[in-house]
Chains A and B, each alone.
Chain A
Amino acid sequence: MFGKSPRRGLPTHLGSNLGRAGGKGGVGLGDDREREAALAALMVAYQDGDAMAFEKLYGEVAGPMLGYLRSLTRDATRAEDLLQETFLQVHRVRHTYERGRPVKPWLYAIARNVFLMYRRAAGRLLRHEGLADDELPDVPVPPEVESLADRDHVQKALARLPPDRREALLLHHVMGLSFQEVGAVLGLTAGAAKLRAHRGVVELREFLRPEAT
């Protein structure tokens, strides 16, 4: 279950977006590699000045990126602001995407940096904003633990995880990044990213044991 490759099934929100884009723009839907190739093709077209490619790229990745930003900010409204800021940054630095390399780690690294800059810029404001420690806004749930409890319980358990473990867990098990890619986003080795995600899942399962809840 916690193998090296990213999980095969995509979260439903991403699946639906891919379906729409695939129907319209000829984006392949086969497996992760095809999806990644489709994203790379959109990114290259975007770099070449195709505004439609940007819209399609947005349709493909905005949903999961919003989920990721929600898990980081714990504030649904702020996450939407940061999503727009992320895409402004993506536009500004689109030349730094190297053709032939995976798109998702590049995008998530920018999103993460936007969050970190926001956190530093907001400073004291953050202490008075956001949700309580045991709450998260609507964030995607790892399929590995979805069957263990209802969605609310899983989200509450996710909220209790240390942020670094939650982040690695979500990036791998929900966003579908490989451990190598998670490491690239977080500035860790693949092994360290795997360890964090694994500990996150173990801890999450612990929280979701019937006697724990």
Chain B
Amino acid sequence: MSTISRPPDELRRAITADVRPVRSLVSPARRTLAAAAWVPPAIVLVLAVLGLRSDAPQLGWPMTWGPLILEVALGLVLVALALAESVPARGPARGPLAATLGTAALAFVAQVLLTRSASAGVTVANPLVTHGFDCFALQVLVGLPALVLVALLVVRAAPLRAAWAGVLGGAGAGLLADGIYHLHCPITDLRHVLLWHGAAVLFLSLLGLTAGVAWERNERRRMAERLGLRSPQTP
């Protein structure tokens, strides 16, 4: 096998033209802190604008704030995995990745069931419809800034499996939003929570996935143009 000691001239010229110093990226765990910093202001904002859930006295401190703490913790774990995924050779293995996503889904369902067992909440005539879309839209609105923040942190690095990073970041943002929105929504009917609040988490995950897939396609297109597999797009 031949040895290669020097880069080809074309490559060397390209590198030499842009060899400015760069700051090494900090670890995924430290970058996760940037996403975590978004949580307290979001809680304050939701409580100030929408107010604390009306059945909070019934639920007590543990069941009012416990699900928030659980979901925020798991959401940040997913965000940390998304940020790890965005650094070459730092992404989690498939097994642990699937296990973490499964745990997050189970935790979501568990906190729904526990909250329901602690309080009957506000009764609505048709839990599948009433307030459903409002909750969905508001929860997505709460989660969107987190998703945008995570997406910025991900693309600042180099996501090799951007679709995975997108799903993880979206699911993380979705769990953060659900945990925070749990402080406001007093409807504990399982049909309402699993359908509409679950849909908000899924929607943010799909949004992350879509952004990741779009990123991958764009990267692939640019590489194909450089390799001459397709001609550059005309404006």
Which A residues contact B (CB, under 8 angstroms)? Answer: 11-13, 16-17, 20, 44, 47-51, 54-55, 58-59, 62-63, 66-67, 81-82, 84-85, 87-89, 91-99, 105-106, 108-110, 112-114, 117-118, 120-122, 125, 138-140, 181, 183-185, 187-189, 192
Contact = CB atoms under 8 A, between A and B. Distances in A.
Contacts of B152: none
Task: Report whether over half of chain A's contact residues are helix, strand or loop; otherwise say mixed.
Answer: helix
Contacts of A105: 88-89
B87 A51 contact: no
A94 B3 CA distance: 24
Contact of B24 (A47, A84, A117): A47
A63 B3 contact: yes
A118 B5 CA distance: 25
B234 interface: no
Interface string B1-34: 1111111101110111011111111110000000
Contacts of B86: 96
A92 B219 CA distance: 12
B221 interface: yes
Given A51-B19, A98-B27, A189-B96, A117 B229 contact: no
Size bracket, chain B contacts = 35 or more
Contacts of A139: 1
Contacts of A93: 88, 157-158
B4 A66 contact: yes
The 7 closest A-B CB pairs, nearest first, are A93-B158, A49-B21, A121-B224, A105-B89, A109-B89, A109-B88, A62-B4
B158 A96 contact: yes
B3 A84 contact: no
Contacts of A140: 1
B220 A121 contact: yes
Contact of B227 (A51, A81, A97): A81
A196 to B, nearest CB: 12
Nearest to A99: B24
B224 to A, nearest CB: 4
Nearest to A185: B89
A120 B16 CA distance: 30
A95 B18 CA distance: 13
